[in-house]
Amino acid sequence: MSKGTASQGKHSSGKTHIICRRCGNHTYHKSTKICSSCGFGKTAKLKKN
């Protein structure tokens, strides 16, 4: 009977973003393998912000 919040609390254990090896920012997503800052892993062109 305790199946609501107990499972939800285990989702944020660990890092989501690590340092990108192309731009050097802390924006490379570990699981999707795409940098949200420069677009590394998705496109060869640099992402324009």
Q: Is residue 23 part of a domain?
A: yes
Buried b (16+ CB within 10 A) or exposed e, 5-15: eeeeeeeeeee
Residue 33 belongs to domain spanning: 16-43
Q: Is the pLDDT of residue 1 over 70?
A: no
State residue 14's pLDDT score: 83
Q: Which residues does residue 18 pair with via DSSP β-bridges, in sequence order?
A: 28
Q: What tens digit of pLDDT does each residue of 2-48 get?
A: 666 677 666 666 899 999 999 999 999 999 999 999 999 999 999 98
Q: Domain tally for the chain?
A: 1
- CATH code, domain with 36: 2.20.25.30
State residue 48's pLDDT score: 86
State residue 9's pLDDT score: 66
Q: Is residue 9 part of a domain?
A: no
